[in-house]
């Protein structure tokens, strides 16, 4: 079956790689709940990753995200990330990356145009709608930083519980899914929507790459039991 999927890759004019937490776990990225160590063990992630929690205690939530940023900063892209980026560079315009991960490992591996549906933990954005005064020049350091003029806070540029996915990113991902001949669903359990719905909406073939069973196995034309780091270099080689 691996050889068949590799043949599908070679024949496909447009490919989408839909990646989830399992792909980053191979690089050693701690899962959402693995970050609950030490001081944070008494909190559930769902208590911290919300707008309500941030507004109630911005310093505490900011510190938790700083810890996660430090953890992620110590890891590097694995062979799966590198294989995807190398394929993109050899075949411009043929492969789109859609990821549920916020760690930026696809980008660090060299992939361009990554559609990060849940944002990027390395980046910040304004908590409230920015006013004219909300500029880099007015930024005041702190935990978190804020606009020195109006007090608007900076927050991690990730999607929190209860928030909608970025409309432009989601629309682009839906367009890519609709247009692709092949979707490689890598390291995702398939339980988080609307990202999981992309695999069910595409008219192209779907190949699952995951060492474990997923909720999308029934929608797949092929299921490869293995990790992205072990399988993607083979599947994406010319």
pLDDT tens figures, 186-212:
999 888 888 889 999 999 999 999 999
Residue 181 is predicted with a pLDDT of 96
Give the pLDDT confidence of 87-134 residue by residue, as tens digits.
999 999 999 999 999 999 999 999 999 999 999 999 999 999 999 999
Residue 81 among the catalytic residues: no
pTM of the predicted model as reported, rounded to 2 decimal places: 0.91
List helix spans (H) across the chain: 2-11, 21-25, 45-48, 51-56, 58-73, 79-90, 105-109, 167-179, 197-201, 228-235
> Among residues 81, 91, 106, 118, which one is catalytic?
118
Judge contact between 8 and 207, C-beta under 8 A: yes
What is the Cα–Cα distance from 189 to 212, expressed in whole angstroms?
Answer: 8
Domains (range + CATH), the chain: 1-28+76-118+164-238 (3.40.50.1220), 30-74+124-158 (3.30.1600.10)
Mean pLDDT, residues 9-31: 92
Smallest Cα–Cα separation from 166: which of 124, 202, 126, 116? 116
């Amino acid at each position: 079956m691996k050889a068949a999927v590799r043949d599908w890759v070679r024949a496909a004019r447009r490919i989408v790689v839909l990646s989830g937490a399992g792909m980053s776990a191979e690089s050693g990225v701690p899962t959402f709940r693995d970050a609950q160590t030490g001081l944070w063990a008494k909190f559930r992630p769902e208590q911290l990753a919300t707008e309500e929690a941030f507004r109630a205690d911005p310093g505490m939530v900011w510190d938790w995200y700083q810890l996660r940023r430090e953890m992620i900063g110590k890891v590097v892209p694995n062979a799966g990330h590198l294989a995807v980026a190398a394929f993109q560079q050899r075949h411009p315009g043929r492969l789109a990356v859609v990821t549920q991960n916020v760690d930026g490992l696809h980008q660090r591996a060299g992939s361009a145009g990554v559609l990060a549906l849940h944002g990027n933990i390395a980046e910040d954005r304004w908590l409230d709608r920015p006013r004219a005064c909300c500029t880099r020049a007015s930024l005041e350091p702190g935990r978190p930083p804020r606009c020195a003029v109006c007090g608007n806070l900076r927050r991690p540029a990730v999607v929190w519980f209860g928030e909608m996915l970025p409309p432009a990113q989601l629309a682009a991902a839906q367009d890519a899914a609709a247009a692709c001949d092949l979707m490689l669903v890598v390291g995702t359990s398939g339980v988080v929507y609307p990202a999981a719905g992309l695999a069910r909406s595409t008219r192209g073939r779907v190949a699952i790459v995951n060492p474990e069973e997923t909720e999308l196995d029934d929608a797949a034309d092929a299921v490869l039991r293995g990790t992205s780091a072990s399988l993607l270099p083979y599947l994406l080689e010319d």
